[in-house]
Amino acid sequence: MHRLGGVDAPLFEIDDLHVSAQDGTEILRGVSLRVGISEVHALMGPNGCGKSTLASTLMGSPEYEVTSGSIRFKGDDITTWGPDIRGKAGIFLAFQYPQEFPGVSVLNFLRQTVEARTGEETSVLDLRKRMLAWMDRLGMDSAFGDRYLNEGFSGGEKKRNEILQMALLQPDFAVLDETDSGLDIDTLKIVAAGVQEIRSDRPDIGVLAITHYQRLLDHLRPDHAHIIIDGRIVDRGGIELVECLEVNGYESWR
């Protein structure tokens, strides 16, 4: 926990968050959620329920407007912070659909983002050493770093690259937006193992894993689970809630 005015504050806290799209349509209708140090939380819900909207909002996307409520990180109200400030502060988002950057190598992209995160210059040699060390831990081909970012990457390669970024940026809080989307069983295991490898290296990191399915959570074993329907969290629990959802589907909560 972090100290705020002498009171313990969660690592990350969303309080009664209401969010609308640019056309004024309300998508999130009062979402509240707290993630403590070293905790893994799962957020599950059907298509169109607001999961990816929440992920984008947590990173400060201009596509959405927070109409009421707040987002706090380490006790600071970050509701109005831009995505660059949030990233530098230690918040990371693994995208559901990572973008391609033709002409920009993975190594150069990582160098720029690490320097932006730390505010310090990083030598190519030093970063390459760190990158190769993590590639080895994540089971990635060392030639991967010289390829253009996400250009021609398979779905699994894109997701593994997101985990590599997460490892090198060393965030304090990570949002995994449907990281398991489009992955086969073997690749899913590799990606989940990568997240766990990072957690073993940084045990205090908080994680919010947003997903449709139980299969990712079988590997991450979340401390808490939340179900979101129509922009509202309708139930909370532990891994037993995930298992119940796998059996009964979302109809029980509609």
Spell out the domains of the chain, with CATH numbers in brackets: 39-62+88-253 (3.40.50.300)
**Three-class SS state of 229:** strand
The per-residue pLDDT for 160 is 84
pTM of this structure:
0.89
Between residues 176 and 144, the one the model is more confident about: 176
Between residues 155 and 1, the one the model is more confident about: 155
Can you tell me the mean pLDDT for 176-193?
Answer: 82
Between residues 85 and 96, the one the model is more confident about: 85
CB 78 within 8 A of CB 6: no
The per-residue pLDDT for 41 is 97
- Confidence bin at 97 (pLDDT 50/70/90): low
CA atoms of 182 and 159, how far apart (whole Å): 10
Give the number of other Cβ atoms within 10 Å of residue 146's Cβ: 11
The mean pLDDT of the chain is 88
CB 159 within 8 A of CB 153: no
The per-residue pLDDT for 8 is 63
* 7 has a pLDDT exceeding 50: no
The per-residue pLDDT for 5 is 42
Nearest to 215 by CA among 245, 238, 236, 237: 245
Give the number of other Cβ atoms within 10 Å of residue 254's Cβ: 9
The per-residue pLDDT for 100 is 63
